[in-house]
């Protein structure tokens, strides 16, 4: 059974207590810092008013970035598999052309 610690995070100058396993504390603090920075950027833009709306816009931006990263990773994996397949075909073709040892 894993234990959880209370971690205090600060987002837009408001404190929140979050339960978190000790080994994930640093990741949580990094995520909170990223969220705080994005929310501050949105608030400074002046187009979005209200904490809830700023939080929703930040969540949408983070979700978009996550999905975009996942899509790029999938494309990269597909490209790598295609390159491996092509490399194997070239290798086999070269072996077929080389004289028997």
Please determine, for residue 98, whether its predicted confidence score (pLDDT) is greater than 80. no
First-residue to last-residue Cα distance in the chain: 61
| pLDDT > 70: percent of the chain | 96
Note the pLDDT of residue 82: 78
Mean pLDDT of 52-68: 93
Note the pLDDT of residue 42: 93
Note the pLDDT of residue 1: 47
CA distance 80 to 76: 6
CA distance 101 to 86: 25
Query: Domain count of the chain?
Result: 1
Q: Give tens-digit pLDDT for 27-52.
A: 999 999 999 999 999 999 988 888 89
**Which domain range does residue 78 map to?**
5-97
Note the pLDDT of residue 11: 94
Note the pLDDT of residue 30: 95
CA distance 11 to 24: 18
Q: What is the domain-level CATH number for residue 69?
A: 3.30.160.880
């Amino acid at each position: 059974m894993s234990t959880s610690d209370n971690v205090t995070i600060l987002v837009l100058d408001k404190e929140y207590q979050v339960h978190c396993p000790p080994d994930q504390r640093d990741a949580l603090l990094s995520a909170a810092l990223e969220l705080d920075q994005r929310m501050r950027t949105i608030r400074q833009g002046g187009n979005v008013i209200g904490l809830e709306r700023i939080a929703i816009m930040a969540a949408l931006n983070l979700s978009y970035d996550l999905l975009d990263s996942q899509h790029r990773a999938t494309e990269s994996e597909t490209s790598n598999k295609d390159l491996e397949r092509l490399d194997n075909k070239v290798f086999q073709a070269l072996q077929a052309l080389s004289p028997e040892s």
